[in-house]
Amino acid sequence: MYLTKEVKADIFKKHGGSESNTGSTEGQIALFTHRINHLTEHLKRNHKDYNTERSLVRLVGKRRSLLDYLKKKDIEKYRILIKELGIRK
């Protein structure tokens, strides 16, 4: 399994402040980014997996909504998170 309990805790510890702060916007965006990267690699190998493609599109939409929210609330946190995760090129 690609997303173990330890990996998830590490993501929230790094971006959410603590392991138990799983509801933070930054932590959720980082988790979605990790999942998006995994699904993208999967789709490179399995290009006819349309259910995964649909899931990827939905996940990108959720991340976009959270990024818009964070941008509206705190632009500095948004810029730092974008740079850390390497979302923008």
Q: Where are the domains of the chain?
A: 3-83
64-86 pLDDT tens trace: 999 999 999 999 999 999 999 99
Contact (Cβ atoms closer than 8 angstroms) between residue 25 and residue 64: no
d(Cα 60, Cα 68) in Å, to the nearest integer? Answer: 12
Give 51's pLDDT tier (boundaries 50, 70, 90).
very high
pTM score: 0.92
State the average pLDDT for the chain.
Answer: 93
What is the CATH code for 3-83? 1.10.287.10
